[in-house]
Amino acid sequence: MAAHLMAAEVDAVVERAVVEQRLVGVSVMVSVGGKLLYRRSAGLADRNTGRPLPDDAIFLLASITKPFVSVLAMQLAEAGQLDLAAPVSEYLPDFRPALLDGNRPDITVLQLLTHTAGLSYGMSPEDYAAFHVAGASNGMDVPGLNSTDAANRLAKVPMRFAPGTSWEYSTGMDVVGWVIEAVTHRRLGESVAEYITGPLGIVDTGFVVSDAARLVTYYTNASPKPQVVHEGSVIVAGTDRTSVAPGRILDPMSYHSGGAGMVGTVAGVWTFLEAVRTGRLLDAESWSRMLTVQAGMDKIPTGPGVGFGIGWAVLDDPVRNGSPQSRGTLNWAGTYGHNWFIDSTHEITVVSLSNTTPAGMFSDYTLQLRDAVYRGLAQ
């Protein structure tokens, strides 16, 4: 009965978001204890053609990429191929960004993974300008840029702070991707396929589009309805600006961005997150490290009581956050309009991939979806 009531609650939230044109299209999966209790794809993959959103639609995952690459980095550390405490320059000798005073401090791999390296994302007004002066990429723009050139450009962007002294969401995961390429001597996507998506049987999820006809068209919040995201569009969220080029993924020369370069399906993301919830892929010590707040307490967009672990946000104080989720719940989002969470205490995994940003990322919709799951299961 609780499962039926939960599905009805979630269905109402999804339906309302599409009817009210907050989301053009969205795919949602909800499971408890590994049992799928809700799955629905609603709305349109492309509004201009009227193409419905299918269950196997392929989305640009943006920052949903980060958990995949973070787990891969930890796997390589377990295998002794990667030293998380080592300076990045040990793997990328030419990557030595500088502070405003000209000093070039060492950055460790762990600092990149936890966003304490002092790098930025080029989203705030001052960082946006600095990125564009350097020609740097955020992993979602500048099609055709290879790893070497991308690293050289990013190294020209001034650091925000000395490594380890603060927290700021950044392109550090792109640097992790380049480190992994240096360690494995192959493109990042090949390692993700070998170590993660392949063993889990995940298809249509990686750094190459398996079927371009199933790619969704992207939209961004506007009145009276969301507007199409074009090549070179700038997505605005508050004072932040993010330049994007959705066609980047179709250019085989584009570097595999460890922070934002993957595509995938809702089923692919759910399968990976279930592996996270059940502790597959890594040993207990590595998982414990990833699931523990490392930095960034109260600096995460989801509000107070949340910090950053490795690969995702970690809810540390549900009461202060005003959340029905359990302490230790994991969550992250993606710029193109995605959100997911794992509540291991209640064995709940929820994935929402949309083609509308930022409404599908952090918004009333994502809070309503979260609350509908818990309200329905409590009945």
Which residues are tagged catalytic? 63
**Dihedral of alpha carbons 303, 308, 311, 314, sign:** negative
Which residues does 271 contact at the CB level (< 8 Å), separation at least 6? 200, 201, 202
- The answer to whether 26 touches 14, Cβ cutoff 8 Å, is yes
In contact, 125 and 239? CB cutoff 8 Å? yes
Pairing outcome for strands 356-357 and 219-220: parallel
Is the bond into 252 cis (omega within 30 degrees of 0)? no
CA–CA distance, 3 with 54 (Å, rounded to integer): 23
- Please state the length of the chain: 379
- What letter represents residue 353's amino acid? L
Contact 108, 84 (CB under 8 A): yes
Taking the C-alpha atoms of residue 30 and residue 36, their distance in angstroms, rounded to an integer, is 6
